[in-house]
Amino acid sequence: MVHRFGRFYRFRYSCRPLPLVLGLALTFRVFALGRGERTQEPAPKVLHVAVMQESPSLDLHKNSTLIARQIGAGQVWEKLVTLNSQSEVVPELAESFEITPDGKTLSFHLRKGVPFHDGSIMSAADVVASMNRWIDSYAPARELAGDSRFEEISGDLVRIRFSSPAVTFPDMMAGSPQSAVITSAAACADEDSRGFMRSCIGTGPFRFSEWQEGRYLRLEKFAAYLPYGTPGEPVDGWAGYKNPRVDEIYYHVVPQAATRVAGLLTGQFDVDYNVDNDDLPAIGGRSDIMSAAYQAGSLTLIFNKKQGPCADLNFRQALNAALDAEEIMQAVFGEQYALGSSYMEDTQIYWNSSAGEDRYNRADPDLARELLKKSAYSGQTIRILTSVPGTTDRGVLALMSQLERIGVKARMEVVDWTTLLQYRNDPSRYDIYTSSFYSVPVPSLKLFFSPSFPGWSDDPHLARLLSGFNSAQNREEAREYWDALQGYSWEYLPVVNLGHFSQTHAWRDRVEGLTVFNGLYFWNAAIR
């Protein structure tokens, strides 16, 4: 619901921060043809967007950071298939696609003549290289595909054959947190020492231009973009005709929520991508400010199941029994949340499940103490890792108070998001960490089910249920496996799903043509 409440210097393409370029002032004048009179070229239309944080990389094959995906997916890069507003899988860089009745073979007919940002034309070889790199980089895709990989059948046809049914694989391609974007085969092969692509070469309506680490990231309009869909028809979800009417987009890194909203109100920023709950009154009632809110994802506590107290199932169950989810969610999100035991958001109606709800939000200290006695907990202080910017530290303080009531000592370590991404890989550094997981089209894309994801959910029965879901013959069978998987998860507790949060975006009323669908996108943006 929506409420009223220097492009001329061309930098080399790179997915990494570039050195600061100082003192560059270019003015271009052209002579009008046939008259010889001097006119000034119109100033570029520039959109200024304030964001809360930046990503360590824009390599979407290997990076699940939300801000990287919201900047890059659909704007810099596109996929073979994407999601419409009903979360249905529809073609994007594919002209069409088919899945065989046994669910084992997927074929994609490619659009012809699609240019990359480097001037080359997308080929089947580029698609195969991109899709196989994505599978190799993304654990849920790798687990579902097994040894299967994409192959080129002809210049405009690619195919993947599975050893067992993979009916949810197109959903995974369309909406996974690590995006199945298409880039050139050369870009896939050119990686830095961390394994990230060095170049950001996509097919989208904007191309990467400049990244000043800690300050801003700049995109510029791709003049040779080849749109698809029907001109004049509105974009449907993430799919359809894209026709940007701005020349540049600056994503300014502004960690402080008050600074972002102040910049929005004064006109310094056109868009505040992350409006904090505390700042909603500041934009309320403003006729020059528009806003949109939607259920964006879930807040979770992720247990270190490799070592320490949380490796003990009885201890995890004791902590879960003690939790008052509403107190924690309110501390973090104010009024922008909804309680619910389902791991899937309300937007994913088909996969919304009540299995295991009797174990959710118990807030029962007596039961928690009984379970704690069965555990091996011996009074040590558990370490809870959380990140800034944001307000999750408020929720951790509420959590620590709840744990203290049952006799569990805890301390909090607050780091920036990039540091948390590093620390969570080391099981010696924490017992619990907080993380937000944004909406995905199918449950198997919840990263914490993977035994390789930090938290390490290495449980045989969980793995069997997940495998059954992935190899289901049809969606009805997959739904049965999902109910069983979610029910078991509330017993095994790979994480505690505390509830669902809403995200609010706000923009000045001079900006139009924005797309709000699991994020805010500017591929049809215009400035009046």
Q: With left for phi above 0 and alpha for psi between -120 and 50, is residue 301 left, alpha or beta?
A: beta
pLDDT digits (tens, 9 = 90+) for 272-306: 999 988 899 999 889 999 999 888 899 999 999 99
Does 327 have pLDDT greater than 90?
A: yes
In three-state form (DSSP H/G/I as H, E/B as E, the rest C), the secondary structure along 322-382 is: HCCHHHHHHHHHCCCEECCCCCCCCCCHHHCCCCCHHHCCCCCHHHHHHHHHHCCCCCCCE
- Are both 367 and 498 inside the same structural domain? yes
Does 489 have pLDDT greater than 60?
A: yes
Average pLDDT over residues 516-522: 91
Please name the residue that has the structure tokens 């056109």. Answer: 270
266 in Cβ contact with 111 (< 8 Å): no
- Are both 328 and 377 inside the same structural domain? yes
* pLDDT value for 35: 44
- Are both 357 and 284 inside the same structural domain? no
- Are both 287 and 142 inside the same structural domain? no
Domain membership flag for residue 475: yes
Reading the block at residue 385, the tokens are: 């890792």
- The rounded distance, in Å, linking the Cα atoms of 172 and 189 is 23
Least-confidence region, from 21-35, 102-116, 484-498: 21-35
**Dihedral (Cα; 368, 373, 379, 382), 10-degree rounding:** -40
Reading the block at residue 267, the tokens are: 């006109």
- Are both 272 and 332 inside the same structural domain? no
pLDDT confidence tier of residue 17, bands split at 50, 70 and 90:
very low
Please compute Rg for the chain using Cα positions: 24
Q: CA angle, corner 54, sides to 47 and 84, nearest 5?
A: 65
Among 156, 188, 220, residue at a domain's last position: 188
- Are both 330 and 352 inside the same structural domain? yes
Nearest to 445 by CA among 454, 453, 455: 453
Domain membership flag for residue 329: yes
Reading the block at residue 158, the tokens are: 């690619």
Domain membership flag for residue 394: yes
- The rounded distance, in Å, linking the Cα atoms of 186 and 143 is 26
- Are both 347 and 467 inside the same structural domain? yes
Average pLDDT over residues 252-263: 95
Count Cβ atoms below 10 Å from residue 480 Cβ, excluding itself: 12
* pLDDT value for 61: 96
- Are both 508 and 498 inside the same structural domain? no
Average pLDDT over residues 317-340: 96
- The rounded distance, in Å, linking the Cα atoms of 243 and 526 is 9
- Are both 365 and 452 inside the same structural domain? yes
Range of the domain at 143: 81-188
Please name the residue that has the structure tokens 């289901």. Answer: 472
Domain membership flag for residue 436: yes
Nearest to 30 by CA among 20, 22, 38, 18: 38
463-472: b or e for each residue (b if 16 or more CB lie within 10 Å)? eebbebbbbb
Domain membership flag for residue 23: no
Does 4 have pLDDT greater than 60?
A: no
For 94, phi then psi, to 5°, come to: -85, 140
Looking only at the bridges linking them, the beta strands covering 2-4 and 515-516 are unpaired
Domain membership flag for residue 285: yes
Which CATH number goes with the domain that contains 286?
3.40.190.10
Among 158, 188, 218, residue at a domain's last position: 188
- The rounded distance, in Å, linking the Cα atoms of 317 and 367 is 10
Please name the residue that has the structure tokens 């907990």. Answer: 377
Does 31 have pLDDT greater than 60?
A: no
Reading the block at residue 318, the tokens are: 């004791």
Which CATH number goes with the domain that contains 147?
3.90.76.10
Structural domain count of the chain: 3
Domain membership flag for residue 39: no
Reading the block at residue 520, the tokens are: 């805010």
* pLDDT value for 40: 67
100-130: b or e for each residue (b if 16 or more CB lie within 10 Å)? eeebbebbbbbbeebebbeeeebbbebbbbb
- Are both 159 and 218 inside the same structural domain? no
pTM: 0.77
Question: Which residues make beta-bridge pairs with 300?
Answer: 435, 497
Average pLDDT over residues 130-143: 93
Which CATH number goes with the domain that contains 345?
3.10.105.10
* pLDDT value for 173: 96
Question: Which residues make beta-bridge pairs with 154?
Answer: 157
Does 30 have pLDDT greater than 80?
A: no
- Are both 390 and 432 inside the same structural domain? yes
Domain membership flag for residue 32: no
- The rounded distance, in Å, linking the Cα atoms of 12 and 6 is 15
Count Cβ atoms below 10 Å from residue 195 Cβ, excluding itself: 11
Nearest to 58 by CA among 196, 176, 173, 212: 196
- The rounded distance, in Å, linking the Cα atoms of 140 and 177 is 10
Query: Burial level of 242, CB count in 10 A (0-12/13-18/19+)?
Result: buried
Least-confidence region, from 114-128, 246-260, 334-348: 334-348
- Are both 175 and 231 inside the same structural domain? no
Does 5 have pLDDT greater than 50?
A: no
Does 8 have pLDDT greater than 70?
A: no
